[in-house]
Amino acid sequence: MNQVVIEECRVDDGDGGPYAVTAGPDGALWFTLVHGGRIGRLVPGDDMTSHQLNDPGCAPTIICTGPDDALWFTEYKGNRIGRITVGGAVQEFALPTAGSGPFGIAPGPDGALWFTESAADRIGRITPEGQVTEFALPAGGAAFPSAITAGDDGAMWFTLNQGHAIGRIGPDGSVTLHPLPTKDAAPVGITRGGDGALWFVEIGAGQIGRITVDGRITEFPLPDRGARPHAITTDSHGVPWFTEWGSNRVGRITADGAVTAYDLPTPGSEPHGIALGPDNALWVALENGALARVAEKGGSA
């Protein structure tokens, strides 16, 4: 691998708290400002703009591009799912279950958005028109479903942060849970890898995990077990990259478990979300008020 270059771009005064980032259909980066109740937009090389939500305390958390070419996001404290067009028009959809704590969200293969209700132990589904369906999990309570992503098998896969398991939900709402081998692993981020498996991070155990669609789990300990990996995505080659919230680094892992980590330029920047940008570089949301661009020198990561 070539030399990796990391550059930071300030997008906030430090009070907004960039939390998650995604590539929009308009060639821009879109990100949540969890403490400021705003949605930000950045075209690499240009000035940042942001859109203030009606409820400044709603805590917009995870954001993704939907099948309708709008951006969809969770409002963790607002108990809503939000939608913003590339022109900045916002819609918000209240959830049926009070205090459900929506967190992760991702497009599904069925043309809907699927999301987690971390405080209610449910998985939700919302159509582009705003129709919501909820599915209760058989986890026994306080499992804290967190991130969610689509698998290659037509199902959605999600992490159970306090249930220490990986879950699968089919389009009909049927749920299968896969307990993790490591006690108190506390998985958070999850992504579909270029190898067709699901890759996830274990913030409590300092490990990266891999699960095949038939449920076979492999865990790879990080060199720094106290790194507290938080979010994970894949680059343009299908290689998983992840954030190390506890150690102020980003890392990559090969299919055989070899890990390389890179220090972020600013100490204590609190890296959270990570996504492949429209420029084929990796972009990281830093809660201290910046987005970091991670790329190979002379190319993408």
- CA atoms of 170 and 34, how far apart (whole Å): 30
Kindly compute the dihedral angle of the four CA atoms of residues 259, 188, 42, 87, in this order, to the nearest 10 degrees.
150
Cα–Cα distance for residue pair 104/88, rounded to 1 Å: 21
CA distances from 201 to 97, 130, 193, 198 (A): 28, 31, 13, 10
272 is catalytic: yes
**Residue 175 burial (C-beta neighbours within 10 Å; 0-12, 13-18, 19+):** middle
Q: Is 287 annotated as a binding residue?
A: yes
Q: How far is CA 101 from CA 66, 69, 93, in A?
A: 20, 25, 14
3-state helix, strand, coil in the chain (%, to 5): 0, 50, 50
Q: Is 237 annotated as a binding residue?
A: no
Out of 51, 164, 178, 272, the active site residue is 272
Q: Could you tell me which residues are annotated as the binding site?
A: 230, 270, 287
Q: Could you tell me which residues are annotated as the binding site for substrate?
A: 230
Q: Could you tell me which residues are annotated as the binding site for Mg(2+)?
A: 270, 287
Active site residues: 272
